[in-house]
Structure 1
C-alpha cells in the first residue's frame, strides 16, 4: 500500500471538524494519471494530492472520479504540510503563508471549477436542506450576520462518487468572495471554518486551520 498522510483542513476553533485530505508525499510511486485516479478512488476522500516536487511545491489533485487543475482545501492542507511559500498547480502558482493559527493560500477565483452559488434567506434554511440529487455542484449559503461578513454554507458536489456533502470547500469560498467583493467568515458543513479576503489583481485569499490525523 502506498504511504500517505491524512489531514483535516478548515478545522473549527479547538481542532474539530475540517475536511479530510489524503496526501501522497512521494508522487513518483504512482506516476501515471490512471494509477493516481485509482488510488484517489480507493481512499475515497473528496480530494487526494500527489506531490511531484516537495521543494518546489508541485502537486497534482484528484477527486474519486476526476483530476482537478486547482482546489482549495488540498492547497491549504498541502501548503501547511510542505511548509512552502508557493504551490505549483496545473492552473497556476498558488501563494502560501502561515500566521501560526491559519494557513492561507492566494489564488484566482476563476481557477475554481464551476459551482452553482445558491443563496438562501437564512442560515436555518441552509441547515434544513436535504442533499440534492446528483448532477449539479451546489454551494448553498446564507448570511448568518451580513454586517460582520459571517456566512453559513453547505456544499453538495453532485458527482455521484460517494461524496454527498463536502465538509469544507475552499474553491467555492473563493468564488463567493469574488462575487460579494468582501472578506468572509464561513461556517460550513458540521462546523468547519474558512476565512477569506479579496486581494488585488483578481486574487482571493482563503485560510483555515489544519490538523494532521495520520502521518
Structure 2
C-alpha cells in the first residue's frame, strides 16, 4: 500500500518553530476505508491525520490515532495551506479558507467543535506549571497573559489515552474559547505555538496561523 504523506507543522510561532504536527495523505485512495485510515492514523501517531478524497472540491477526512472527526481546526488550516484551497468540504459543512501570505485562515462555527472543558487559571505561570492530568475529560487550560491585548496562554490535554498526552496547538478549543469570551484572541499554546482568532458575523469565527512543511514521506 502506498501511504505517502506530507508532514506539516501548523500554528507555528513567529520564528517558525513549534506548531502541531499534522499528517496529510494527498491520495485518499491509498486508504480506501475507515478501518485502514484509522490504522494509519494510529501508526503515524500525529494528533490528527488528514486523507484527501477530492483535492479539487476540498473533500477531506480527519482522524486522530483513535477516532474519526467531523471537524478539527489545525488539520484544516494545514491542508488549506498545503493544497492552496479556498473551500474544504467536511461532514459539518463547507469551510472557507483564505491566505494572506504569512497566515492561513479558515472560517468555522464553534458548534462544530467537540465538547471541551475550558478551565481558566489565574496566571500564565500557573498554566505553565500544570502536569498532564490522568485520562478522562478533554481539558483546555488557559489564563490571560495580557487581557487588554487579548493575549492568552493555553495548554491542551486531550485525555483520550491514545498516546497524545498534550496537544501542541488546538484550533477547535481556540474556537470555543473565542466564542465564550466574544473577542479576538492571540493564543500562545504548548511550547510556543501561536493561534489567532477573530469573531465574524453570524457566529462565524476566523481561525488562523502559520504553517511550515516539515517533510514528505514516500513509502
Query: Which runs of 5 or more structure 2 residues have no equivalent in the other structure?
Result: none
Give, in angstroms, the shift of residue 65 of structure 1: 0.2
- Residue 133 of structure 2 aligns with which residue? 132
CA displacement at 1:74 relative to structure 2: 0.1
The answer to whether 1:183 aligns with 2:153 is no
Query: Which secondary structure does the structure 2 equivalent of 1:187 belong to?
Result: strand
| Residue 181 of structure 1, CA deviation | 0.4
* Structure 2 counterpart of 1:111: 112
Note the C-alpha offset of 1:14. Answer: 1.7
Q: Shift in Å at residue 91 of structure 1?
A: 1.2
Within-5 A mapping of 1:67-82: 67-82=68-83
What is the alpha-carbon distance in structure 2 between the residues aligned to residue 204 and residue 54 of structure 1? 24
Report the counterpart of residue 12 of structure 2 in structure 1: 11
Q: What SS class does the counterpart of residue 147 from structure 1 fall into? A: helix
**Cα separation, 1, equivalents of 2:78 and 2:172:** 13
Provide the C-alpha distance between the structure 2 equivalents of 1:196 and 1:209, rounded to a whole number of angstroms. Answer: 13
Partner residue, 2:63: 62
Aligned to 1:168: 169
Give the Cα separation in 1 of the matches to 2:23 and 2:184: 28
Shift of 1:128: 0.4
What is the deviation of 1:92?
A: 1.1
SS of equivalent to 2:148? coil
The C-alpha deviation readout for 1:147-202, integer Å capped at 9, x for no partner, is 00000000000000000000000000000001100000000000000000001111
Aligned to 1:211: 212
The answer on 1:90 being equivalent to 2:68 is no
Aligned-residue Cα RMSD (Å) equals: 0.6
Alpha-carbon distance, 1:28 to partner = 1.1
* TM score, norm. by length of structure 2: 0.97
Structure 1: 4+ residue segments shifted above 3 A: none
Distance 1:183 1:80 in 2: 22
How many residues align structurally?
215
CA distance in 2, matches of 1:84, 1:43: 24
* Equivalent-residue separation in structure 2 for 1:96 and 1:32 (angstroms): 27
CA distance, structure 2, for counterparts of residue 92 and residue 154 of structure 1 = 28
Superimposed CA distance per residue, residues 71-107 of structure 1 (whole angstroms, 9 cap, x where no aligned partner)? 0000000000110111111111111000000000001
* Paired position in structure 2 for 1:37: 38
CA displacement at 1:203 relative to structure 2: 0.7
Tell me by how many angstroms 1:212 deviates. 0.3
Distance 2:93 2:126 in 1: 36
